[in-house]
Structure 1
Amino acid sequence: MKLIGSTASPYVRKVRVVMAEKKLDYRFQEENVWSEETAISTANPLGKVPCLVMEGGEAVFDSRVIVEYLDTLSPVGKLIPGTGRERAEVKTWEALADGVLDAGVLARLEATWAGRQDGERSQAWMARQLGKVRAGLQAMSQGLGDKPYCSGIHLSLSDIAVGCALGWLEFRFPQIAWRTDHPNLARLMDKLMQRQSFIDTKPH
Structure 2
Amino acid sequence: MKLFGSYTSPYVRHCRIVLAQNNETFDFIPTDYGQSAQQSPTQRVPFLQDGDVMLYDSASIVRHLRERNQQAFCDNVQDFDLFCLANTALDTTVNLFLLQRDSITGEQSQYLTRQQSRVNSILALLNEQEWPTQAPYSDGQLRLACFLSWAQFRECINIQNYPNLQQFLLALNSQPWFANTHPALT
Aligned to 2:17: 17
- Normalised to the residue count of structure 1, the TM-score between the two structures is 0.80
Task: Map residues 56-75 of structure 1 onto 2, 5 A cutoff.
Answer: 56=52, 58-75=53-70
Secondary structure of 2:4's aligned partner: strand
- From the CA coordinates, give the structure whose radius of gyration is larger: 1
**Share of identical aligned residues, percent?**
26
How far has the Cα of 1:199 moved from its partner? Answer: 1.2
The correspondence for 1:130, drawn from 116, 120, 123, is 116
Aligned to 1:193: 173
Residues of 2 paired with 1:97 and 1:46: CA distance?
A: 20
How far has the Cα of 1:23 moved from its partner? Answer: 1.9
Identify if the C-alpha distance between structure 1 residues 25 and 166 changes in structure 2 by more than 3 Å, giving closer, same or farther.
same
How far has the Cα of 1:126 moved from its partner? Answer: 3.1
1:172 aligns with 2:154: yes
Structure 2: gaps of 5 or more residues:
none
1:128 counterpart letter in structure 2: R
Task: Map residues 40-79 of structure 1 onto 2, 5 A cutoff.
Answer: 40-56=36-52, 58-75=53-70, 78-79=71-72
2:69 counterpart letter in structure 1: S
The correspondence for 2:132, drawn from 148, 155, 168, is 148
1:80 aligns with 2:61: no
Aligned to 2:89: 100
Q: Which ranges of 4 or more aligned residues in structure 1 deviate by more than 6 Å? A: none
Residues of 1 paired with 2:108 and 2:19: CA distance?
A: 38
How far has the Cα of 1:154 moved from its partner? Answer: 3.4
